[in-house]
Structures are given as C-alpha cells and as structure tokens.
Amino acid sequence: MAVIEVCDICRKEISKSNGITLDCSDWNGWDYPVGVPIRTERNYKVRICDKCKDNIIKYCKRNAR
C-alpha cells in the first residue's frame, strides 16, 4: 500500500525530496478523564511544498515591521 503525501496548504502531491515537514501543536484536543471535558495539547505534523514555503517566506519579508 503506497502513501501519497499532499501539501496541507495547496493540496498538491509532494515527493520525498520536495517540501518540508513541520511539527505543530495546539490546545484544540479534548480529553474526558472523569466525564468532564478538558482541553489537552494536540501534536501533529504538517507537510508543506516548496512553492507554498517560498510564498510564505516572501509574504513574511514583505510584511515585516
């Protein structure tokens, strides 16, 4: 079974040599230890192609204060 990786921004297919993988986290996870919902940290990986990465870098350089 093959795994096809796609860019999380533009949804285009990414090869192993193209793009970067970022480790991210946020507090949008939920846990129910005793029946009461509690927010927990959610860890995941984001895959971004080189084209989107370059666009993000250009945007940040243009809008730096």
pLDDT digits (tens, 9 = 90+) for 30-61: 888 888 888 888 899 999 999 999 999 999 99
Judged by DSSP in three states, 64 sits in coil
Q: How far apart are CA 7 and CA 58, in angstroms?
A: 18
> Are 17 and 29 within 8 A, CB to CB?
no
Q: Where are the beta strands (DSSP E) in the chain?
A: 5-6, 13-14, 20-31, 38-48
In a domain, 34, yes or no: yes
Number of domains present in the structure of the chain = 1
Note the pLDDT of residue 4: 87
In a domain, 54, yes or no: yes
Q: Is the pLDDT of residue 29 over 90?
A: no
% of the chain beyond a pLDDT of 70: 98
Q: Is the pLDDT of residue 2 over 80?
A: no
In a domain, 52, yes or no: yes
